[in-house]
Amino acid sequence: MLWTEKYRPKTFEDVRGQDKIVERIKAMVKNKNIPNLLFSGPAGVGKTSLALVIAKELYGVNWKDSILDLNASDDRGIDVIRNTIKDFARTKPINNVPFKLIYLDESDSLTKEAQHALRRTMENFTNNVRFIFSCNYSSKIIDPLHSRCSVFHFKPLQRKDIEEYVNFIAKNEGIKVNDGAIDALYASTEGDVRRIVNILQSCTALSKTITEETIYGVVSAVRPKEVRFVIEESIRGNFVSAREKLLEVMLQHGLSGLDVIKQIQKEIVDMNISEKKKMDMIDACGEIEFRMVEGSDEFLQLQTLLAKFTK
């Protein structure tokens, strides 16, 4: 069984790192009176989990009968709005809660036409159904839907939340995770709990003791100290040495140029150099990333970046 499902939050208390949001939602559910909701935030921070907890708390053991869950793998053009969603919204709930739930995951991928069609559906069936929209970028949701929803912005989990969650899993699974591994998990996932749990499950296939080396081996990510070495070598004027180390890192870990340049940008921020130098270097990173996105050769552009650092 996938650990992402095994350790998915079952109650409000299980949802970590979003205390203020959970507190407000819990009060709404207690009164069985929730508005349409819009959950916005990065991947793996608890949006879907909280929506499912809402359904479980409202409807009990038969919660699956009262929620329509549509995600990115479904066709979600205007026909789905007119047929699937309307058919579900027309019927009355079969329990003592006066409305059913429609959960639209990754709703920022809905076409504009489908979003506009939802406006009328939300108005016509307001007595029967409540909508929960989940998205990474709320700016891609049209204003009329924004105005019909109560908006909640989810944040990436902090290190203390990650540590607490990892230790909880480690205790249940009988594994040992050291502090260096937790730091590596946090650095390589940026607070994405779903990705953290998947990495942990992969690591346990290799060893019951999980270290920093185990984490970086599984995620095929470059260690921060290796990127720092490349940057420092180029700043010191050792362009050839920096270039060789960069090539070694990319080949060893199978990284794309975009992966490397994002890691370089992170390391620049933490380096002990003047603010002016940091500003110039990050500006150069932005220019090189744009060229990569436009289709330029990645390694050639990274060499150009190192040459700019050397100069």
> pLDDT tens digits for 35-51?
999 999 988 899 999 99
Residue 242 has pLDDT above 80, yes or no: yes
d(CA 240, CA 138): 44
CA distance 250 to 221: 9
Tell me the pLDDT band of 73, cut-offs 50, 70 and 90: low
Q: Cα separation of 289 and 81, whole Å? A: 38
Q: How far is residue 294's CA from residue 37's CA, in Å, rounded to a whole number?
A: 37
**Does 132 have pLDDT greater than 90?**
yes
- Output the pLDDT for position 37: 94
pLDDT band at 98 (very low <50, low <70, confident <90, very high): confident
Residue 1's pLDDT is 67
pLDDT of 101 reads 93
Domain with CATH 1.20.272.10 in the chain: 224-310
Predicted model pTM = 0.80
Residue 13 burial class via C-beta count within 10 angstroms: exposed 0-12, middle 13-18, buried 19 and up:
exposed
Q: How many CB atoms lie under 10 A from the CB of residue 187? A: 18
Predicted pLDDT at 27: 92
What confidence score (pLDDT) does residue 39 get?
94
pLDDT at 26 (0 to 100): 92
What is the pLDDT at residue 187? 81
**Among 306, 164, 167, residue whose Cα is nearest residue 237:** 306
Fold entry, domain 224-310: Zinc Finger, Delta Prime; domain 3 (1.20.272)
What pLDDT does residue 50 have?
94
Domain 159-219: CATH class, spelled out: mainly alpha
Out of 3.20.20.60, 1.20.1530.20, 3.40.50.300, 3.40.50.2300, which CATH number does the structure's domain 3-153 have? 3.40.50.300
* pLDDT (tens digit per residue) in 165-199: 898 999 888 889 888 888 888 888 878 888 888 88
Distances (CA, A) of 96 to 12, 57, 65, 218, 255: 21, 13, 13, 48, 53
Average pLDDT, the chain: 86
**Intervals of CATH 3.40.50.300 along the chain:** 3-153
Average pLDDT over residues 251-260: 79
Cα separation, 147 vs 159, whole angstroms: 34
Q: Where in the chain is the domain with CATH 1.10.8.60?
A: 159-219
pLDDT for 183 equals: 86
Q: Three-state SS across 120-188?
A: HHHHHCCCCEEEEEEECCHHHCCHHHHHCCEEEECCCCCHHHHHHHHHHHHHHHCCEECHHHHHHHHHH
Residue-wise pLDDT tens digits, 5-35:
888 888 999 888 899 999 999 999 998 889 9
Residues in the chain: 311
pLDDT of 133 > 90? The answer is yes
**SS3 at position 74:** coil
Residue-wise pLDDT tens digits, 193-238: 888 888 888 888 888 888 888 888 777 667 788 888 889 888 888 8
